[in-house]
Amino acid sequence: MKKTFSLILFFLSVFLAATACWIVDKFGNVTTEQLLFHLYMPLDSDAKTIISFVRNTIFWAVGLTALYAFVLKKLQNVKPDNFFAVHFSKLTYLFFGGCVVFSAVKLNVPNWFKDNFSSRSNFYETYYSDPSQVKLTFPDKKRNLVLIFVESFESTYSEKDGENLIPDTTAAARMKGVNFSDADRLGGAEQVAGTSWTQAGLVAQTCGIPLRLPIDPAHYRMYTYFLPKAHCLYDVLKDNGYAEKFMIGTKSSFAGMDIFFKSHGDLKIEDYTYFTGKGGKVWNIASFKWGLKDSETYSLAKKELSELGKSDTPFAFGMMTMDTHFATGYFDDTVCKPKYPRQDVYKNVISCADKQLSDFLAWLESQSFYKNTTVVVVGDHLAMNDAVFGKDKRRRVFNLFLNAQAKPVKTTNRKFTTMDIYPTILAAMGVEIAGDRLGLGTSLFSGKPTVLEQIGDTEKFNGDIMKRSAVYDYLLYGRKVDL
């Protein structure tokens, strides 16, 4: 019995350590918040990711456990007074403890405990501007909004290994629109804590705050309303009479997006389930149905926008693409030809995404409703692929504002985060924002320093926004919580 328990404990030790290593190697420096989020929210995975997980965790755990069992069996034949033979199995407890500590440190668990249980901050009291209390003045003729979230889209793609993987989008940013940059070339927003995965990216760019989780897991399992006291972009647009739609090629339950969108505004969600019931085509990765490919989503978006454009009611149409999703994306050879060697799968995927996005923007520009429409293109977060892009600290999340009504004061050498996108979208639509601040975001058109620019240090910024705060707990729980 002791031997069986020892083997199980050894297996769990290796599996735990291998899983921590696999997560960091595959997804980069993920946060504990992100891991916890996906424990409680559905996340579809493609076959390659699942196979990679099994190969790099379970196979190692099984193989090393078999070797450990072999050693235990051999030690049975050693003299019983041999100290090593007698106490070898007890070393498993030390090994298990070491693996737990190793995995916790690898996944930043100590920092999570520190932020939630021992650290307090007045960061939100100092910098948070409650959007529900800010005076917003819309133009007499309200402008339509087309907001496009391109999965894992980075400005970094414009200079990957000396190549520009997104030449069409780069040209649009330089000649037709506004790109806010951290440099004197195409650039973007810094990805900070609480904004590094899909749902967190959406929250940051439409609510102006990072995404944190309730500390009590039982509360989160019952969590059917996202950030009840946050006043987000779609809440503002609903209050101002906009018709709201959001389109995504996956199931809207992906990363909890359905709960978020049902919590804010009056969005009609059109997703994989909605469209497959109308004859939409499905693409597969191995045998895993992921969703509609982007060419289908763009085609359906054109139909929806054509209908919305016929109405006198201002509309806010949002959509999200998925072909560039981690790990290798999906290359649609029905609309693109490979520009790079076939082994450079992700480069070809990005290049194809650039072409499809550019074609869609050109279509928008040709529509009669475009004159009164502001178009915003943003990445939701950085690509979770350090193996491809390395650990370059200058990687930035893409942004592009087309047909904006506001004139930017300064677009280059800015220091900002994706949370600044929220007020910047409204400013681009011609909305006057008293104080130019919403949430933790600052309108980039205003030229006023962002919160990150005021603080100056990204590491300090990250530390402050992830500490517990009475203000954030109120946004999260919808009531005051004792700290």
Q: What is the mean pLDDT of each run of 10 residues along the chain (483 residues)?
A: 76 85 71 64 58 78 83 67 59 83 80 66 92 97 98 90 90 94 95 90 96 61 72 98 94 80 92 75 46 91 96 97 83 91 88 97 97 97 69 84 97 97 99 98 97 95 88 84 58
3-state SS class at 368: helix
Name the CA dihedral angle for 311, 312, 315, 319, rounded to a multiple of 10 degrees.
30
On the 0-12 / 13-18 / 19+ scale of CB atoms within 10 A, 284 is: exposed
Residue 347, token pair as written in the block? 């480069």
Q: Looking at residue 428, what is its pLDDT?
A: 98
Q: Looking at residue 218, what is its pLDDT?
A: 47
Residue 190: φ, ψ to 5°: -75, 140
- The CATH fold assigned to 129-477 is Alkaline Phosphatase, subunit A (3.40.720)
CB 223 within 8 A of CB 214: yes
Q: Quickly list H helices, 264-344.
A: 272-276, 294-308
Strand partners, 378: 149, 399
Sketch the domain layout of the chain as residue ranges. 2-118, 129-477
The closest of 459, 462, 420 to 188, measured between CA atoms, is 420
Q: Looking at residue 116, what is its pLDDT?
A: 64
- Quickly list DSSP for 73-86: HHHTTS-TT-HHHH
Q: Looking at residue 78, what is its pLDDT?
A: 60
Rounded to a whole number, what is the distance in angstroms from the first to the last CA of the chain? 45
Report the predicted TM-score, pTM, of the whole model to 2 decimal places. Answer: 0.82
Rounded Cα gap, residues 226 and 478, in angstroms: 10
Residue 127, token pair as written in the block? 């910098």
Rounded Cα gap, residues 334 and 347, in angstroms: 17
Which position has the token pair 């016929």? 310
Omega of the bond leading into 383 within 30 degrees of 0 (cis) = no
One-letter amino acid at 88 equals F
Rounded Cα gap, residues 70 and 74, in angstroms: 6
The closest of 191, 131, 144 to 376, measured between CA atoms, is 144
Q: Looking at residue 164, what is its pLDDT?
A: 93
Q: Quickly list H helices, 128-271.
A: 167-175, 198-207, 217-221, 233-239, 257-263
Which position has the token pair 């456990």? 65
